[in-house]
Amino acid sequence: MLGNPTKHRGRRRREKPRDLQVCWANVGKGTPHYIAILHIAYMEQMDVVCIQEPATYNGKTQNHPGYECYSPVDSWDGDSAKEREFIRPRVMTYVRKGAGLRTQ
């Protein structure tokens, strides 16, 4: 056995909770920017990521395995491009999985 297990557990209890890390970015409907900001935010351990002007295609948008994605609208399928543009979400919110945050 290496080290004193009680000493290790004691340090864990006294750790100060980490502040909520939030990232907000306007990607201007650009898919490469969208993918990049999600990846960078994940690498920097951002808890919440808000993507303004997300790229959306036929009712779908980008996902990331480290985040749960939330949209302010349930569907943005429209018959015409003009209708889809009118109803599409203006921001997508991502919450890091395993961050211990409760979303509503």
pLDDT at 11: 52
The model's pLDDT over 27-72, given as tens digits with 9 standing for 90+, comes to 888 888 889 999 999 999 999 999 998 888 777 888 899 999 998 8
In percent, the amount of the chain with pLDDT more than 70 equals: 87
Q: Is residue 13 part of a domain?
A: no
Cβ contact 84:92 at 8 Å: no
User: Is the residue at 52 inside a domain?
Assistant: yes
pTM score of the predicted model: 0.75
Residue 41 resides in a domain: yes
CA atoms 12, 15, 19, 22: torsion sign: negative
Coil, strand or helix: which one is 40?
helix
Distances (CA, A) of 96 to 1, 19, 25, 76, 78: 35, 14, 16, 24, 30
Q: Are 49 and 94 within 8 A, CB to CB? A: yes
Count structural domains, the chain.
1
Tell whether 28 is covered by a domain. Answer: yes
Note down the domain range covering 51: 19-73+90-98
Q: Is residue 2 part of a domain?
A: no
54 found inside a domain: yes
The encoded tokens of residue 67 equal 């985040």
Distances from the Cα of 74 to the Cαs of 1, 26, 61, 71, in angstroms?
A: 54, 21, 12, 7
Residue 67 falls inside a structural domain:
yes
Residue 53 in tokens: 């002007």
- 5 in a domain, yes or no? no
Instruction: Output the CA torsion sign for 82, 83, 87, 92.
Output: negative
